[in-house]
Structure 1
Amino acid sequence: MNEKPYQYVQALLSAGSFSKAAKRLNISQPSLSQFIMRLEKDAGAVLIDRLARPLKLTPAGMCWCEAEKNVSKIRELCRIQIRDMGEGIVGKLSVGTPYYFESYFLSNVLPSFLESYPEVEISIEEKDDQKLEELVAASRLDLAIVPAPREDPGIASELLFCEPCLVAVRKDDPVCAEANSDGSIDFEKFDRRPFVAVKPTVRLRGVYNSLCARTKTQPRIAVECGDLTTALSHTISGLGPSLVTEMMARQFRDKAPLEFFILRPIVDPIRICAIYSDTRYLSKAGHSFIEAMKRAADKMNAQEAKA
């Protein structure tokens, strides 16, 4: 299976010229020029616009590249499927995660998983929830961890665990004195007070918006940030309360000057799921990693129940 033509064309587009691309490919410029001319003769059309600076594809070249990109994906999936037909669990696995999940959850999954499957190479990519779903749909990630995933066609999901949503408040914030005796706090107490919110691309923003609508409450957003960890750091700095997950609360209960309260009205627990493309083969390593995450979640919840 020859992937050289696609690689050479991509090198040309990336470098912008024949001379720079030849240097990157470690071949002579005449050899590269002759290769591209043979490729264009086989295709029956000019693929590279040589008058453009930097070089760019012709319309025929765009069509050719799109087809070759799809062929390349098919070849890669074929390799994975053939490899999975053998014994053992091996190969590369790309996993997407919200920013806070790598340190608060995956740190409990990776050691035991890699001990069991040392021949699996894992790459972690941290993005916001919406971007992770886009990357999985585009087959740029093998799987991702996503809170409350959308029901998109072509995307499969498996429930890992359900996580309560809490509000984090600095212990010296006067609103702590207004908490209920059962350890909860009414969201109305934050009306017109400073609050730290996450951006709309983060799924927990939907919980915040829902609470505002249900209670007709409008906190004053002091700062809006892109992930829960940053939001919590702003709460610790005194910029205002923020919504957090139970998992984050576990990490900070004894390490920061914070109180964590259940919200009133009650907020449904957030479904934390593993998602992957339903139209693309997920390797044995991918399925094994999902099962490892489920076991880790069960273990963490059991430890929390004992505590």
Structure 2
Amino acid sequence: MEFRQFRYILKIAEEGTLSLAAKKLYVSQPSLSQLLAAQEKKIGAPLFDRGGTCLTPTAVGKLYLETARSIIALDEAFHQQVDDCVRGAAGDVTVGLTQFRSTHLLAPMLPSFRVKYPKITLHLREDTTHRLEELAEANETDCIISLLPINERRFDYDILFEERLLLALPPAHPICAALGLAPGDCADPPPVPLHALQETPFLLMHREQKLHDTLFTLCEAAGFLPQITLETRSMNTAHALAGAGLGAAVLPETLISAAPPANPPCYAAIEGDPHRTIILARAKNRYLPRAVTIFRDELQAFCTK
């Protein structure tokens, strides 16, 4: 079988229809249909169920797709290893990360990295944490900046740093007056037992972001289910809305320090001092090109500073 056939049939599975796949591949739909029919005839079984509005892989089709991905990954790893031998500290690195990490972690690091390694080109794929894991498993990224916990059967990872979680409280909240909290002051915030906020509405992150589950886990441990007033995909938005008095939010100290809103909330530590661990992860047993290894080492050194 040719690699072109693997890639074309993988694209059919990704798009769900021959017409969309043909459009993305810049080929005619009849020719793509003929290629699929020829492969199914050669294998002796259909690769897709054509009964619904979208093509869905059959049992044989799933096996074919899994094998195709493995073969393509091996071919890419081989060529990358050859490239490493020939080119040295050069190449392309595709990094998956959230927009927050792109702005507040990579942006300060990249200028010096580019000066030091001008032949390494970085490509950024910004998405939610859950979606980033899917991209890594599909070999669409070389590595992702993510968080623990992560499925260790599917991913290898290196720890970058620990990040403290704090409470962002509306300035008019009774706890702020009781503790003498001033809006915008995040230096040495006093601890607050989370159960004291069981009557307080919370701002919730989207379910594809790990802070979504973190809020429920922390509140469950404190013995209550949080009241949700609003859901957002942006931590910056949650930060600003807490300052505007719409609700409380659990946010990383990194964000609070780096991007205070115009009207900041008050800040408190959470009793028990929860942290989260930021990691650089990659699909299990994926070959690490030299350029990716260099990027990993430089990122770890930057985070250590």
Alpha-carbon displacement from aligned partner over 1:139-189 (angstroms, at most 9, x marks no partner) = 332111112232521421211111111112343444321226863141344
Distance 1:122 1:262 in 2: 37
Post-superposition offset of 1:192:
0.8
Distance 2:283 2:165 in 1: 28
Distance 2:197 2:254 in 1: 23
Q: Which residue does 2:263 correspond to in 1?
A: 257
Q: Which residue does 2:26 correspond to in 1?
A: 24
CA contact under 8 A between 1:165 and 1:262: conserved in structure 2?
Answer: no
Q: 1:223 to 1:113 in 2, by over 3 A?
A: same
What are the within-5 Å matches in structure 2 for residues 142-161 of structure 1? 142-161=142-161
CA contact under 8 A between 1:11 and 1:24: conserved in structure 2?
Answer: no
Query: Structure 1 counterpart of 2:108, which letter?
Result: N
Percentage of matched positions with identical amino acids: 23
Question: SS at the partner of 1:233?
Answer: helix
Q: Which residue does 1:235 correspond to in 2?
A: 242
Distance 2:32 2:202 in 1: 59
Distance 2:214 2:34 in 1: 59
Question: SS at the partner of 1:168?
Answer: strand
What are the within-5 Å matches in structure 2 for residues 1-307 of structure 1? 3-7=3-7, 16=18, 24-25=26-27, 43=42, 45=44, 64=64, 66-179=66-179, 183-186=189-192, 187-253=194-260, 255-299=261-305
Post-superposition offset of 1:11:
7.2
Q: 1:175 to 1:123 in 2, by over 3 A?
A: same
Question: SS at the partner of 2:237?
Answer: helix
Post-superposition offset of 1:228:
2.3
Question: SS at the partner of 1:162?
Answer: strand
Q: Which residue does 2:184 correspond to in 1?
A: none
CA contact under 8 A between 1:156 and 1:276: conserved in structure 2?
Answer: yes
Question: SS at the partner of 2:282?
Answer: strand
Question: SS at the partner of 1:270?
Answer: strand
Post-superposition offset of 1:129:
2.4
Distance 1:12 1:219 in 2: 43
TM-score, normalised to structure 1's length?
0.76
TM-score, normalised to structure 2's length?
0.76
- Between 1:5-14 and 1:138-147, the stretch displaced more is 5-14
Distance 1:226 1:75 in 2: 37
CA contact under 8 A between 1:95 and 1:143: conserved in structure 2?
Answer: yes
Q: 1:114 to 1:40 in 2, by over 3 A?
A: same
Q: Which residue does 1:305 correspond to in 2?
A: none
Distance 2:120 2:220 in 1: 46
Query: Structure 1 counterpart of 2:287, which letter?
Result: Y
- Between 1:102-111 and 1:261-270, the stretch displaced more is 261-270
Post-superposition offset of 1:134:
3.4
Query: Structure 2 counterpart of 1:82, which letter?
Result: V
Q: Which residue does 1:302 correspond to in 2?
A: none
Distance 1:33 1:194 in 2: 54
Return the index of the structure with the highest Cα Rg.
1
Distance 1:265 1:231 in 2: 21
Post-superposition offset of 1:120:
2.4
